[in-house]
Structure 1
């Protein structure tokens, strides 16, 4: 053994010299090696982030199921599965091309790369980043679609919902997404909002508000659940059946958001740390804001409001996570936490729109707030010298952000109304019968129960 070891040590110097000799020509291409390593790191980081965002589907499923009644919990889970199952395929076929294809209408719509044809013509020479970028964007599209399911929970036919979900992923989300993000796939012209200077780094408006506004349209068209409003118009509380499940969903979403926001760099660089810090600080502030205002208004720190506060902070910071300071992120999250409670009350009690999980408030309203906050809190050094209003940047940036918020609201809400009306007209109606709703959508729509043997039916 000792002799063998001595032989090894005699060979090592020779081997090292040989290796060094082999590396001499390569050293002349150090820049190429560094570039290749960075490209691979970017691909790996973006793919990991995409997987985290995909896991957010589990978070949405848990939150929405927990905040609805036991008799329809399985139905909301099925809608979440449908959003991802159909959504990713539709985005592969059409959505990606409309959103990131070369612009054909002055910044209003893209076209090209349907079925990812530009990436797959030659499988022997795969695009180094194209498939990864598509996968990352596909899980964003599914997120926007799945927001809608919460706003119309417990009363919409599953068969009708299939068509609405497909329309969101194939048409509504990609077209407005092109306006703000059209250049991300290499199209220099980009979208018209982007050309004006609109900023939405990870999708407060592009992803979340679109889903929230479509959910608002659906809740208006379908109407409230049976028993939600008394004859005098007073709102009755319909508690969710499983708050621990909802809490688990919130923590899963919080975890997944570290793919949603830092992953939107699509680059493994030194900015992802700042984005992660801003993301989590805003969520923490959202928790405290929602908890405090619910405590003041209701006399107790409300559990569901506090959970929605965390999500409100996350949605609020998504637009500016790359360009605001940690202190700015705390302020944005705190205001989002306060805003979500007031918005939920206003929509429920004043507008009398039944949104079982608070989807419109969390994603629509707080997404709009976060987008506007970019025009207030953007730090000049984080945005090539252009700062927000509170950093001496004037009203220009804030005005563009406001234009983006209003325009996307008009598009998503308007198209949402059209989509629900059309689907209702051609599918035999959007809503289950009163008898089916009272029995629960798990049995009436899917023929089984989420909690077999434990279900308690009410006759409200």
Structure 2
């Protein structure tokens, strides 16, 4: 190879590296913006006296998640630490650093999901301690198994069943795990005061539908970074992922509109249910398969959230367990159904493996969260006092209200 050819090759390689770095950075920024969506979805759903807490909690969770993932979580999942000098860290246009940022936004989605379930009665600092251990250990344990081949799990799947567990953008790894972790935290906290009156369930109306809708819109837009940019390189980008995300979202909207009887809360959560479910197989499914996946996910969410709120003592404020936990699990299984070539998919996926991997993710999430939140519950308690809850988390924790009214 002569000198001019070498220079051209080097220039092309540098351009490719820098393009991939920029591509992933834009994806990280889009997913980071989704945390504002989580925040406003919660702000619009909780009562006025808990709106400040919703905003502060999710931003604080992100800060704690960054430290936990930087020092522990990323190492647990990928065996990579940052204890080297800056020249080594910035090699290859700093692609690995941007990859950390991108995957951090996924990891930090776990406490953002949990936040919606435990709203209005959770203590502040104990929950942040829980966030540290969830993001630093529990979540990356399963993340590393699926996305980095840790503990030989994927190799065993491939040897035994001919294919590994497929979760392109985190239906199970992120949403399923987050939703089942949230369920455990919700159960430890118990029901909000006032939910049972005269022996009957009472549901608190959303405080601000426009804020709720804004949160849903931000999440929907950011989700295309969440899904499409999970390719992590320009060369791997797929229009099929974008189309499938769009179709699942549309299916979720329409199903929630019909089954939710025009309720704005359901209509704005319906697309999120569809997007949660399509993450795993968005690179495999035919768009019609993605549409069906979104319809089923929204139907499951509407039915299960309604049942849970009116018939059980599981007080999941935003319905994050049915939305993320159950719809995420459905997404893992759906990838094994609609990813098959017989249904127009790309193939290379096994329904048995998808089911086993999904069940493993749920198991790790439940056991890990029982350990983390159960320990905190015993040592310091997770819940506000009855008086603090009555006054609201805004005044009790942050000493300020969301309005300037006397």
Common fold by TM > 0.5: yes
The superposition leaves residues 263-291 of structure 1 with CA deviations (integer Å, 9 ceiling, x where unpaired) of 11001136332211211221111010111
Which residue among 317, 325, 334 is the counterpart of 2:278?
317
1:48 equivalent in structure 2: 26
The superposition leaves residues 324-349 of structure 1 with CA deviations (integer Å, 9 ceiling, x where unpaired) of 12111111111111111011023223
Contact kept, 8 Å, 2:285 with 2:346, in 1: the verdict is no
Contact kept, 8 Å, 2:68 with 2:132, in 1: the verdict is yes
Q: 1:440 to 1:205 in 2, by over 3 A?
A: same
DSSP-derived class of the 1:269 partner: helix
Shift in Å at residue 42 of structure 1?
1.1
Shift in Å at residue 100 of structure 1?
0.9
Number of residues paired by the alignment? 397
Contact kept, 8 Å, 1:254 with 1:311, in 2: the verdict is yes
Contact kept, 8 Å, 1:179 with 1:194, in 2: the verdict is no
How far apart, in 2, do the equivalents of 1:125 and 1:356 lie?
42
1:306 equivalent in structure 2: 267
1:159 equivalent in structure 2: 125
With normalisation by structure 2, the TM-score equals 0.92
The superposition leaves residues 136-188 of structure 1 with CA deviations (integer Å, 9 ceiling, x where unpaired) of 111111112211111110001112111111111111111011111114xxxxx
Q: 1:352 to 1:140 in 2, by over 3 A?
A: same
The superposition leaves residues 392-430 of structure 1 with CA deviations (integer Å, 9 ceiling, x where unpaired) of xxxxx1111111111111111122122112112222x21
Which residue among 307, 313, 338 is the counterpart of 1:346?
307
2:168 counterpart of 1:168: no
2:300 counterpart of 1:334: no
Which segments of 5 or more consecutive residues in structure 1 lack a partner in the other structure? 1-23, 102-112, 184-188, 296-300, 389-396, 455-460
Contact kept, 8 Å, 1:90 with 1:170, in 2: the verdict is yes
2:249 counterpart of 1:249: no
Shift in Å at residue 34 of structure 1?
3.0
Shift in Å at residue 65 of structure 1?
1.0
1:229 equivalent in structure 2: 196
Contact kept, 8 Å, 2:89 with 2:97, in 1: the verdict is no
Shift in Å at residue 38 of structure 1?
2.0
The superposition leaves residues 290-324 of structure 1 with CA deviations (integer Å, 9 ceiling, x where unpaired) of 111112xxxxx111011111110110111111111
Q: 1:348 to 1:191 in 2, by over 3 A?
A: farther
With normalisation by structure 1, the TM-score equals 0.82
The superposition leaves residues 354-381 of structure 1 with CA deviations (integer Å, 9 ceiling, x where unpaired) of 0111111110010001110010011549
2:371 equivalent in structure 1: 418
1:201 equivalent in structure 2: 168
1:441 equivalent in structure 2: 393
2:160 equivalent in structure 1: none
Contact kept, 8 Å, 2:188 with 2:377, in 1: the verdict is no
Contact kept, 8 Å, 1:65 with 1:77, in 2: the verdict is yes
Contact kept, 8 Å, 1:279 with 1:318, in 2: the verdict is yes
Shift in Å at residue 231 of structure 1?
4.8
How far apart, in 1, do the equivalents of 2:117 and 2:301 lie?
15
2:112 equivalent in structure 1: 146
Contact kept, 8 Å, 1:343 with 1:365, in 2: the verdict is no
Contact kept, 8 Å, 2:339 with 2:345, in 1: the verdict is no
The CA RMSD measured in Å over matched residues stands at 2.2
Contact kept, 8 Å, 2:203 with 2:309, in 1: the verdict is no
Instruction: Map 1:9-28; keep pairs closer than 5 Å.
Output: 25-27=3-5
2:403 equivalent in structure 1: 451
Instruction: Map 1:7-406; keep pairs closer than 5 Å.
Output: 25-27=3-5, 30-101=8-79, 113-114=80-81, 116-117=82-83, 120-121=84-85, 123=87, 126-128=90-92, 129-183=95-149, 191-193=152-154, 195-196=156-157, 197-232=164-199, 234-269=200-235, 271-295=237-261, 301-380=262-341, 386-387=347-348, 397-406=350-359
Q: 1:408 to 1:333 in 2, by over 3 A?
A: same
DSSP-derived class of the 1:237 partner: coil
Q: 1:40 to 1:329 in 2, by over 3 A?
A: same
Q: Which has the larger radius of gyration?
A: 1
How far apart, in 2, do the equivalents of 1:229 and 1:315 lie?
31
DSSP-derived class of the 1:261 partner: helix
Shift in Å at residue 30 of structure 1?
4.1
How far apart, in 2, do the equivalents of 1:399 and 1:241 lie?
43
Shift in Å at residue 387 of structure 1?
4.7
Which segments of 5 or more consecutive residues in structure 2 lack a partner in the other structure? 158-163
How far apart, in 2, do the equivalents of 1:75 and 1:181 lie?
34
How far apart, in 1, do the equivalents of 2:214 and 2:61 lie?
20
| Higher RCO (CA < 8 A, seq sep 6+) | 2
How far apart, in 1, do the equivalents of 2:155 and 2:295 lie?
28
Contact kept, 8 Å, 1:45 with 1:266, in 2: the verdict is yes
